[in-house]
Structures are given as C-alpha cells and as structure tokens.
Structure 1
Amino acid sequence: MKIVCLDRSTIDESINFKGIEDQAENITYHDFTPSDKVIFRCKYAEVIITNKVVLTKAQLEQLPRLKLICIAATGTNNVDIEAATALGIKVCNVKSYSTPSVAQYVFSMLLEHMQKSAHYIANTRQNHWQNSPIFCHFSLPINELSNKVISIVGYGEIAKAVERIAHAFGMKVLIAERQGATNIRPERVSFEQALQLADVVTLHSPLTAETAGLINKQTLALMKPTAILINTARGGLVNSKDLLSSIKAKQLGAAILDVLEQEPPPQDHILLNTVQDNLYITAHIAWGSLEAQQRLVDGIANNIASFLNGERLNQLN
C-alpha cells in the first residue's frame, strides 16, 4: 500500500508510527499540505492520512487509486464522506483516544482557576511569603470544587469521563437535555435549567446546525454571574462576541476555551485581543497528551489493518 500522510506536524515527533509503516510498501510524510498541493501529493496514494487537511469532492474525483482515507481524529467534517462513498473510497476515524486527555484538561484548568496555583507559586518566587508578617500569605481567594454544580452539555464518552471525575471531587452533576427538547429524558434536566443552576458549564457537544452559537447573549444571561464556562468541544458552539461582552460586564465568572471558531485563529480575533484575568484560552491542546497521540496513531494502524483484512473497523461509509 502506498500511504500519504498530509499533516504529520499535527502529531508530536516522538510518536511511533511503526504500526502504520509496517503495513506500507511506501509511506510519504508531509508536515502540512495546502489545498492546492493535495492532488499532486496524493495522485498515486492508495491510503491518505489526514488530521485537518480538507478533502473535497473535486479533489477525490481526481484520485483514482485512492481506496482508504484515515482521519487522524474523531471529527469528520474535513472529508466529503458522501463523495468518497460514491467513488468507492472508504473513510475511517478514530474514537475514544483522547478521552482521558480532554477530561484531565477540563479539571486541570478548572483547578487552576479555583486554586490559583500559578499565582501563588509566582508570589513565593517574588518573596511575598518570605516577607509576610504571618505564617501564610493570601492575595487571591481560593475556592473548592466540592458541592459545586457542574452542568454537562453533550453526553458522549468524554462527558462521561468528566462526570466521573466531578463526582470524585464531590461535585453535583447535572446532564443537560438538548436545547429546545420537549421531552426531558430520565436523569437529565432541561438545557435552560442546567445553565441556571450551574457553577460550571462544560461543553462536549458536536458542532451541528442546531448547536452552532449555542452559547450566546440569551443563554449566557441564564448563567450565574459567578459561573465558569469551559469549551473543549468546538469553537463554533460559542458566540465569541457575546462571550466577551458577558465577561467584560462581569455577567460571567470565567471562561476557559481550548477551541475557537477558526483554527488557527486570526491575529485580530476579539478574544485574543483583550486582557481579562478571567478568560483563559489555550491552543486546541486538550486532546493532545502524548499518550492520546500514540493511541490515535495506533488506532489508524488498526483501521488500515482492518481494511486490508476486509473488515470494517471504524468505517464511516
């Protein structure tokens, strides 16, 4: 099999690709592939590995040797699966590889906000403790997670991992029903109630036409002024303009974002051109522990092996 990896630089250089390489007669790695180079680089490929490089119908129609597309992620919006199906090209993704990593991120960032660890480490390095007239030195309040209400929006595998950790901290967990649902499923609360009661709202929904802009001026207004919003799902779930207005007006306690609508974001993105102590933004890193990245690559290897054996592991079409 001739395999072409279109964006190897999205995976850490320490990650072992041997499981994939063992199945390839020839494998070519590209750090990143712009759209106008896809056809040239893949014209002889039988298998394409892509993390975020988009594969369109027009491109796939010009790749007659292509048999399998391996998406190096769970999300599939970068590949025209309908076109691939019509052309007889199989498409696979990898599920569950990032669950521990994303759940860990949610609580590492939440704990940093509540505990102020970086602030207090810096204080000690700056001799504030050493110069204190008493045995300790407090300059910012510290809060506990215990007995706080965490509302989970979207209830897939990652959300369930977050739920387990929240219970371990003694938090009260609410599972939000879909917005606009007329029937509330057992052990869930309405979307509106989940926002109203939450000390923490964590988003784990896919981005669809129904969920785009889910967090906006109206839904933010439902939340407590001390509430914390966490988004590790998709940037498009949150209206950035409305979020910034809410934070500036102190209508929200804090926002922790690992994703934005466009990635990488433009230099002039409104959330990146403001200084707010209660706004934390990281560069889509929640998924990417080294362990998760290795599970991802091993999952791709398993998908290729399954395809070669005539099986359908993780096939989407």
Structure 2
Amino acid sequence: MESKSTHTELSLKIVVTDGHTVNPGDLSWDQISTFGSLSIYERTSPEIVIERCVGASVILTNKTPIDSRAIETITTLKMIGVTATGYNIVDTQAAQRRGVVVCNVPAYGAHSVAQHAFALLLETTNHIGIYANSVRQGDWQRSIDWSYSKAPIMELQGKTLGIIGFGNIGQQMAKIGFAFGMRILYCSRTKVDSDLAHFTSMEQVFSKSDFVSLHCPLTADNREFVNRNMLGLMKPGACLINTARGQLIQEQDLADMLNQNRIRAAALDVLSSEPPSPHNPLLTAKNCIITPHIAWMSREARQRILDTTAKNIEQFLKGSPINVVN
C-alpha cells in the first residue's frame, strides 16, 4: 500500500511524506495518529509534495524536500516535523517567514551510529567480510595450513582515533575507542570536558591519527573540507571513516588518494548523493568500504524517532514546541 489514513475526532491533518525508511512496517504509527487524521505515504517525489499535503497542518518528512513553494502554497501548514536530526531538506527561512515551526529529532541514534562507525573501523582492521567469504568459497578446506592470511590484521591497542565533531555521537565513539585501548584526539567547535579524549586542532587530528572518524554536522563552511589538502595530512596507513554527511568529503580527491595508496582505506556510510550516481568515483576506489546509509537504522533508534516526533507534535499543540530548529 502506498498510503493509508487513520482518523480521529480531531480536525488536525497530518501527512507523512516518506514513512517507509523510518517505519517499513515493524513499528506502529498509533501514537501519532491520536493527534488527528494521519495520511502515510511510503515515498513522495518533490513534484507531488503539494498535491499530497494540501490541507495539512503538520507535515512529517524524513528526506522529502519541503521547499519554499510548498511552504507558501500549503496555507494550512503550521508545523513541519523532520523525522531525523539533519533538517537541510526544509527551507527553514521560508518556514520562519510564514510562522511555520520546524522541529527535528536530536540525539536519537548516538549509540547506533557510533556502533556502526566502529563496525566499519573494525572491518578495515580485521577484514571479517573477506575472511568469511574466503571460507564460504572453500579456501579453508583447501588450505595446507590450519590458518591462512588473506589480508593483514591490525591491533587497535595503542593506536590513535581522531574524531571530528564531539557531540553525542562523537563522544560515544570515543568511549568505544577508549575501551579498545586507543588514544583519542578530537576537534570540535567547542571544547568539551572529557577524561577520555584530548582536544586539538583539525590539522593535528588528521596528521596524528591512525583513524579519522567524521561526526560533525554539514554546514556552509565545511562542505567538502575533507579534500586533497586535508587528506594529504593523513598517515599513509591511516583510515577515514564517515557516518556523518557525504558532502563533507571531496569524493574525487578521496578516490584519488585511495587509488594512489596515499591513505590505507576509507569506510563510508554516506555519500554526497544518495542513491549514488553510477559514476561516483568512490564506488570503484581501492580499499573503500561503503554501506547504504544504515548507521541510523536500528529498530531501537527508529522507535526513538517516532517517540520524539509524537512528543514534538504534542508539545506544539500545547503551545510549547520543543526541538525547534528555525
């Protein structure tokens, strides 16, 4: 079913433009449907946003863009709820001009995203996928030795983990790294008191770390800041990890550095365009692991998204909106 509707006695009309990723069917929309008439679409292309959302007081979107035209045309609109932390898909200035409140869901996935970032890191050091596939193909059965090597394994004890952005996810990443016996460096807009990590400059993080993990938001100032110059500071044996935003990286520069063996590996959960173009240079770059933007996707994290979204609507209706980003 592309969409479904539930109705209560309330007159509030709520439209979910792209509910499939947050809730593909294993969770319930019931707590949100209590606020009014709820229409849920699995996906909505930009050109039919207005058509589907006409008459809506609340629009809930995950990745469907809500632009100035939609905000100005849907005159009934009072609130936009982004079912994610990043809200760059909404024209927040247009919303502010019209008095439309925009809310997001902060801090829902710190544990899940850090867990995935570290899983990517471990794949670059232990190569579980390579070895599991080798066994599945019969290499161990044919081996003349009781153990064999397909790729070098690295111990993390004593290595340096550099973290760019030290919010909830960055701090959780530091805790995991510290548990592995790693030295932790971090760079952030503001210094955070931490017994686990040492605050330093961006350049020091890139030049001193064996692993650099990105956990900062995308802003106008840091788009593609991980470029040839910044990557050139990294050790030849270092690895870049990105579970933040793909636009933080100049992708051709990273592909070139990988293909030229200037850095050891990259492990990415995000790309500049998603789904990626078949011509994205990272898809064929050497020693580049890519997962399809799934770090946030644990069931527990998605349930927190729905819980917080319901709370955002409730507080908005009470006249005390929370998690407002405009």
TM-score bracket, shorter-length normalisation:
over 0.9
The equivalent of 2:110 in structure 1 is 99
Alignment of 1:149-160 (within 5 A): 149-160=160-171
Deviates more, 1:237-246 or 1:206-215: 206-215
Could you tell me which residue of structure 1 aligns to residue 320 of structure 2? 311
> 1:193 — aligned with what?
204
Partner in structure 2 of residue 268 of structure 1:
279
- Equivalent residue letter for 2:35: Q
Match of 2:34 among 9, 15, 22: 22
Partner of 1:298: 307
Deviation at 1:155, TM superposition (A): 1.2
Name the Cα RMSD after superposition.
1.7
Q: Which moved more, 1:120-129 or 1:216-225?
A: 120-129
Q: Find the partner of 1:215 among 223, 226, 238.
A: 226
Q: Deviations over 1:135-157 (max 9, x none)?
A: 32233221111111010011111
Aligned residue for 2:289, secondary structure, equals strand
Offset at residue 177 of structure 1 (A): 5.0
Task: Tell me what 2:242 maps to.
Answer: 231
Is the alpha carbon distance of 1:99 and 1:293 closer, same or farther for their aligned partners in structure 2, counting shifts above 3 Å? same
What secondary structure sits across from 2:145 in the alignment? coil
Q: CA deviation at 1:169?
A: 0.7
1:162 equivalent in alignment to 2:173: yes
User: Which residue of 206, 228, 235 corresponds with 2:217?
Assistant: 206
Q: Which residue of 2 aligns with 1:118?
A: 129
User: Quick check: 76-85 or 130-139, which moved more?
Assistant: 130-139
- Tell me, what secondary structure is at the counterpart of 1:9? coil
Deviation for aligned residue 1:275: 5.2
- Of the three residues 72, 80, 90, the one matched with 2:91 is 80
- Give 2:100's aligned residue: 89
**Structure 1 portions without partners, runs of 5+:** none
Give aligned-pair identity as a percent: 41
Q: Which position in structure 2 is the counterpart of 1:242?
A: 253
Task: Report the Cα distance in structure 1 between the residues aligned to 2:73 and 2:144, rounded to whole angstroms.
Answer: 74
Change (3 A) 1:185 1:31: closer
TM-score by length of 2: 0.90
Higher relative contact order (CA 8 A, sep 6+): 1
Q: How many angstroms does 1:208 deviate by?
A: 1.4
| 3-state SS of paired residue (1:243) | helix
CA distance in 1, matches of 2:204, 2:79: 44
Query: Unmatched 5+ residue regions in structure 2?
Result: 1-11
Q: CA deviation at 1:30?
A: 1.2
* 172 and 47 in structure 1: CA distance in 2 versus 1, 3 angstrom threshold: same
Please state whether the residue corresponding to 2:114 is helix, strand or coil: helix
Contact 1:128 1:137 in 2 (8 A): no
Correspondence 1:60 to 2:65: no
